[in-house]
Amino acid sequence: MLDGLFPLTFPPMQNPFCNALIQLDRAAELQAFSEEFLTLMRQPAREVEIAIPVTMDAGHLHMFRGYRVQYDDVRGPFKGGIRYHPDTNVDEVRALAFWMTLKCAVADIPFGGGKGGIEANPKELSAREMEQLTRGWAHAMADVIGPEKDVPAPDVGSTSREMDWIADEYALCTGHSKAAAVVTGKSVGKGGSLGRATATADGGYAVFEELRERLALDPETSTAVVQGFGNAGERMAELLHRHGYKVVAVSDSHGGIHNENGLDIKALSEHKRATGSVQGFSGAHDVTNAELLELPCGILVPAALENQITFENAMRVQAKVVLELANGPVTPEADDVLASRHITVVPDILANAGGVTVSYFEWEQNMRGETWTENEVFERLRERMSAALKVVWEKKEALGCDLRRAAFVLALERIEEAMRRKGSL
């Protein structure tokens, strides 16, 4: 499984790319994919690693490491976010690029999969340092990205501000007539789409609502816990709260808070903006991120990072449904434990595909010179998420497997078919 052209940087335990390949092997046990196809799927097509010089505000020069992994583009241009995090590394970026490839196939949008990373902590950088770092990444990557080649987007630690800088730098470097389409998740004034900022959670919520009926979930599922209070998690907490769910706990990188009677999410958002953390919110007590994952609830939404539910803590998870808004939050060993305890896991490549779906809408609008209304975007998103869930569900019923394996098999079938059509197999 681990033989390949690109060596692993980190040991297999807790290595997201190893987990991704285990998931691939598990799907391949259910369906007869050709060996050539599986060999292609075990390696990214290209990896680019760069050093980005930034003159820090203190006056000295600091070099930051940056990545772009282009996994597969048989279904369309590479597509995937850029993560700014001090602990990101090439194995993580590879795993995220692999999952993007499958996610675009599950959502049936004409993109392949890629991902970027910058080893930096945005919380410790000034706006000027962030701009130099981001423009440096875009400048160095200008030859390998592009509206028809590879289209980045925001991920952990990046927002529309960084995407606007990348679009601008790319335009300066290339003079491309549709330079805005080189990234998605831009601010609306710079060619971003209405509805993109909330799309990941909006899509995840749409999937959850459809699933609730299919799983015939009981009223106990009306309590929710959300790990991560950023772009995806905060919006998900807000949506659940608005639809009458009791959101009893949320967290961010500082830790979590819990109130079994439910949290006022609007007031919490204001508290987070004022203090920089969800902790210390009045009317709730602080909990650790580890404790938060083990609280009794109907729906648990990991919306932060990978490897949060592992073999070690899966036995203590008390949710009925785990909805993966984050990428890779449940390890393969934990999947087995949760399945044995009849806890449904809605896999990342389905649950968080709303983000890339509206990214595709943004790219389409940029390429065609159109502007869609928020309602139009939302309705199209709902339609696509509902269609994706329907086919994944049918696959699960046909194969008698869990939702993750079903989503993987569906995605792999679509990618293999595209490779055959294009003659790469």
Q: Is 156 in the site for ligand NAD (CB under 6 A)?
A: yes
Distance (Å, rounded) from C-alpha 389 to C-alpha 353? 11
Distance (Å, rounded) from C-alpha 339 to C-alpha 334? 8
Q: Is 228 in the site for ligand NAD (CB under 6 A)?
A: yes
Minimum Å gap between C-beta 397 and ligand NAD is 26
Q: Is 200 in the site for ligand NAD (CB under 6 A)?
A: yes
Its sign, for the CA torsion 204, 210, 214, 217, is positive
Residue closer to ligand NAD, measured from CB, 156 or 409: 156
Tokens in use for 387? Answer: 């269609």
Minimum Å gap between C-beta 362 and ligand NAD is 11
Distance (Å, rounded) from C-alpha 311 to C-alpha 331? 7
* Interacting residues of 112 by C-beta distance below 8 A, sequence separation 6+: 70, 71, 72, 73, 74, 75, 76, 77, 78, 79, 100, 101, 104
Minimum Å gap between C-beta 384 and ligand NAD is 14
Distance (Å, rounded) from C-alpha 176 to C-alpha 397? 47
Q: Is 195 in the site for ligand NAD (CB under 6 A)?
A: no
Q: Is 77 in the site for ligand NAD (CB under 6 A)?
A: no
> What is the enclosing helix (H) or strand (E) of 3?
none
Minimum Å gap between C-beta 30 and ligand NAD is 25
CB closest to ligand NAD, residue no: 230
Q: Residue 346's beta-bridge partner residues?
A: 323
Is 115 among the catalytic positions? yes
Q: Is 304 in the site for ligand NAD (CB under 6 A)?
A: yes
CB 99: neighbour CB atoms within 10 A?
A: 27
Options 65-73, 248-256, 388-396, 404-412: segment touching ligand NAD (CB under 6 A): 248-256
Q: Is 193 in the site for ligand NAD (CB under 6 A)?
A: no
Residue closer to ligand NAD, measured from CB, 14 or 340: 14
Q: Is 198 in the site for ligand NAD (CB under 6 A)?
A: no
CB 117: neighbour CB atoms within 10 A?
A: 29
Q: Which residues in 311-340 contact ligand NAD (CB under 6 A)?
A: 325-327
Q: Is 7 exposed, middle or buried (0-12, 13-18, 19+ CB in 10 A)?
A: exposed
* Interacting residues of 177 by C-beta distance below 8 A, sequence separation 6+: none
Nearest to 107 by CA among 355, 340, 277: 355
Residues in the chain: 425
Minimum Å gap between C-beta 355 and ligand NAD is 3
Q: Is 297 in the site for ligand NAD (CB under 6 A)?
A: no
Written as one letter, the residue type at 94 is R
Do the strands 113-118 and 321-323 form a parallel or antiparallel pair, or are they unpaired?
unpaired
Residue closer to ligand NAD, measured from CB, 136 or 204: 204
DSSP 298: S
Q: Is 352 in the site for ligand NAD (CB under 6 A)?
A: yes
Minimum Å gap between C-beta 315 and ligand NAD is 20
Q: Is 343 in the site for ligand NAD (CB under 6 A)?
A: no
Task: State the number of binding residues for ligand NAD (CB under 6 A).
Answer: 24
Minimum Å gap between C-beta 335 and ligand NAD is 17
Q: Is 252 in the site for ligand NAD (CB under 6 A)?
A: yes
Minimum Å gap between C-beta 269 and ligand NAD is 11
DSSP 349: H
Q: Which of 193, 227, 344, 365 binds ligand NAD (CB under 6 A)?
A: 227
Distance (Å, rounded) from C-alpha 254 to C-alpha 396? 38
Q: Which of 77, 146, 157, 298 binds ligand NAD (CB under 6 A)?
A: 157
Q: Is 296 in the site for ligand NAD (CB under 6 A)?
A: no
DSSP 309: B
Q: Is 134 in the site for ligand NAD (CB under 6 A)?
A: no
Do the strands 321-323 and 299-302 form a parallel or antiparallel pair, or are they unpaired?
parallel
Longest dimension (CA), the chain: 62
Written as one letter, the residue type at 251 is S
Residue closer to ligand NAD, measured from CB, 253 or 313: 253
Q: Is 289 in the site for ligand NAD (CB under 6 A)?
A: yes
Please tell me which residue in 115, 186, 272, 396 is annotated as part of the active site.
115
Q: Which of 64, 111, 165, 229 binds ligand NAD (CB under 6 A)?
A: 229
Residues that bind ligand NAD (CB under 6 A): 154-157, 200, 227-233, 251-253, 289, 303-305, 325-327, 352, 355
The residues that are catalytic are: 115
